[in-house]
Amino acid sequence: MNRYVEAVTVPYATADLSLIGVSNTNPGNPNYGAKLQYTTASGKALTVNAPAFHIENMCVRAEGADNAIHFNADADYAAVAGSCGPTVYNTVIRGSLRGIQVTGGYAYHISRCRFEGGSATDSSVYLDGSAQPQRRGVIEYCYFGGFNGALNDNAYVRILGSTTDFLMHDCYFGIIPADTHFINATGTNLGLIANCWFDSADITLSTGIVLGGITLVGAFDATMAVPAG
């Protein structure tokens, strides 16, 4: 197991790079593969300023960090465009602070990842469309849970509108965080959450999932029914 204690920044003029973890034991389980950890000085593990960045088979630590991974953007994507088309695949985000932050941007794709929070003071996925609207993001086949048995404090997924054409499907959410939200979307949003499972006896839309304009279909709690508003 290799651990890199660095605050990595991917500069703007380097589009379409990939960061893929290599393992000599088990490439299918990034928990024991290549690991990127924050530095105390920076507080972040990975800041992406380049478009179309791809991450695969990595474990990124979010302990003591502002974000494990930040897909960043400036106002007009002229010098910072990390949130334009980033992809994250088969990656573990582990630790107690904010996991992946996407600021503005287009067409991010987060697929088959595990988010292991735990006594978190922030969300595992933080989608910020408050300064620039966020378009066409996809989160699929992900697992959101705690870490070492600790409860998350905040919603696993936090959406700050405006976003449009947001899609989340086939995701699994572990025990409900202390603030009672699995997903918390505020602002003006359009999108779909479909076929997701929530570890709760009986969630309601007013607490467990705050939709903020997003449509919910096929969401299941212990009663196997779409939650009532």
Partner 1 sequence: MANIIIPKPDNYGKTRSEHEANLRKEWGGTITDEQLDRLKYLERKIKDKTGSTKNFIRGQDIDLVK
Among 37, 83, 90, 96, indicate the residue that binds partner 1 (CB under 8 A): 90
Enumerate residues 19-48 that contact partner 1 by CB under 8 A: 19-25, 27-28, 42
Q: What are phi and psi of 31, to 5 degrees?
A: -55, -30
Q: How far is the C-alpha of 102 from the C-alpha of 134, rounded, in Å?
A: 9
CB of 80 to partner 1, least distance (A): 14
Query: Checking phi first, is residue 65 left (phi over 0); if not, alpha (psi -120 to 50) or beta?
Result: beta
Name the segment binding partner 1 (CB under 8 A); options: 2-10, 61-69, 77-85, 179-187. Answer: 2-10
Closest C-alpha among 87, 91, 132 to residue 110: 87
Neighbours of 25 (CB within 10 A): 9
Reading the block at residue 40, the tokens are 């105390």
For the chain, the C-alpha Rg in angstroms (whole number) is 17
Find the distance separating the first CA and the last CA of the chain, reported in whole Å. Answer: 46
> Do the strands 67-71 and 98-103 form a parallel or antiparallel pair, or are they unpaired?
parallel
Residue whose CB is less far from partner 1, 23 or 186? 23
Among 63, 107, 109, 186, indicate the residue that binds partner 1 (CB under 8 A): 109
Residue whose CB is less far from partner 1, 1 or 131? 1
Among 1, 3, 11, 196, indicate the residue that binds partner 1 (CB under 8 A): 11
Residue whose CB is less far from partner 1, 90 or 163? 90
Query: Does 71 contact partner 1 by CB under 8 A?
Result: no
Name the segment binding partner 1 (CB under 8 A); options: 84-92, 97-105, 116-124, 174-182. Answer: 84-92
Q: How far is the C-alpha of 157 from the C-alpha of 187, rounded, in Å?
A: 14
Query: Does 9 contact partner 1 by CB under 8 A?
Result: yes
CB of 117 to partner 1, least distance (A): 23
Could you give the string, one character per residue 117-136, with x where binding to partner 1 holds by CB under 8 A and - elsewhere?
Answer: --------------------
